[in-house]
Amino acid sequence: MRIWTAISGLSCIALGLANAPPAAAQTTEVKIGLIAPMSGPWARQGDLMLKGANLAIDDINAKGGIKSLGGAKLKLVVFDAGDTVEKAKSAAQRMIAQEPDLVGATGAWLSSFTLGVSDVTERAELPLLTLSYSEVITGRGFKYVFQTSMTGGAQANSAVPALVKLAETATGKKPQTVALIQDNTAASVSVAKPMREGGLVKLGLKLVVDETFTPPLSDATPLIQKVRSSRPELLLLLPTAIPDDKMILEKLNEFGLGRGRLPIIASGAHIGAPDLLKNLGKDLLEGVMTIVANWGAKGQEQISADFVKRTGEPWITQDSLSTYGDVQIFKEALEKAGAADRRKVAEAIRAMDTTEGPAKYFPGGRVKFDENGRRVDADLVVVQWQNGVPVTVYPPTSAIAQPVWPKSGI
């Protein structure tokens, strides 16, 4: 009888355990992927994205994690996109295979890489947030890719008229001629396309130099010789890699076009990277402007100060700030979804419309995505090197310094 009672008791315990929720059902950790260049010519941008993502993860976990999941902590898993589209796509395939419980990912910095990566994440129904500029990324009918930046073409259409007006206000006359140097990556093509297709003509600008190169650039001399001989009133400079930036800016100085003699307008956060200051010095960078989708601005003083203090970087760039914001978007989506499920997280992102929380880390101050996955009300930022620091000078609501138009004296 005692033996039977003991067996009966054990059976009840076993039945109770069988009916209880399994221990694995309690979510204690939620994984988010970062896929970005961690090697090759764009590795510095990947490092800055990693710093922004880690800062966001630390902040969220320190404040209690994902409350709707019982305080589950976020964990970042990192994959190197490398230096080619093929490597980026392979990294995305490894990410999907090795981390089946990912709820989302952010990346891949270079638009060409993001196009390849998003092919993979779309098939896996994994939501991908990206700061990449190319219109094609969100022009393919995909449902799981979300673009937080204003697209390159939209940036060009918005920024160039503002810059021309700035030049006219500063100099008393409207510029008439422009030179364009770009690489052939997707982001640069996206920015330059509307300029060539009537944008410059509408502004009364004549394109006197139009040059495209394949990175990495081996010699900038032929490009800059054409600029010097054509004597444009401003230069639109659209490379994407810091080594190419450095080579071109050094050659401009060598040919007597640097140090503010020729107004230079770039596109992308790489022009504002601390590495350029170390390699070129502030004199060669003074007055150079760049059009970006995000930068430390008025109202973001706290996150900017935290970033500097905790990473040792001299300032926060688009790469860090946007990636920080992306992780905050995932946090908001997880709270709404109430489950560590990638499809439910994607649904929560599609339904999101907020001017709070993650919205304060993006120009325009709103996180809502249209049916294509483009952020509604996204704005651009113009950054200018002033006294060795790249500062936001446009739009006025975000500016922390007044723009200075370089004195052209070619």
pLDDT tens for 2-33 read 444 443 444 443 434 334 334 335 679 999 99
Q: Band the pLDDT of 409: cuts 50, 70, 90.
A: low
CATH number at residue 344: 3.40.50.2300
Render pLDDT for 145-194 as a digit per residue (tens, 0 to 9). 999 999 988 888 888 888 888 888 878 889 999 999 999 998 899 889 98
Residue 405 lies in a domain: no
Residues 278 and 304 in one domain: no
> Are 31 and 79 a contacting pair, CB within 8 Å?
no
Residues 63 and 133 in one domain: yes
> Are 131 and 323 a contacting pair, CB within 8 Å?
yes
Residues 285 and 344 in one domain: no
Residues 162 and 285 in one domain: yes
Residues 103 and 184 in one domain: no
> Residue 61 CA to chain centroid, in angstroms?
23
- Work out the average pLDDT over 304-320: 96
> Pairing state of beta strands 234-238 and 145-147?
unpaired
Residue 319 lies in a domain: yes
Residue 123 lies in a domain: yes
The residue among 389, 381, 385, 383 whose CA lies nearest residue 285 is 385
H-type alpha helices, 25-150? 43-62, 85-98, 111-123
Cα separation, 193 vs 325, in Å, equals: 28
Percent of the chain whose pLDDT exceeds 70: 93
Residue 115, pLDDT score: 97
Residue 401 lies in a domain: no
Helix (H) or strand (E) holding 181: strand 177-183
In DSSP notation, 212-225 reads EEPSSPS--HHHHH
Residue 129 has pLDDT above 90, yes or no: yes
Residue ranges making up the domain that contains 264: 153-292+382-394
Number of domains within the chain: 2
Residue 171, pLDDT score: 83
Residue 18, pLDDT score: 39
Residues 77 and 179 in one domain: no
Residue 408, pLDDT score: 56
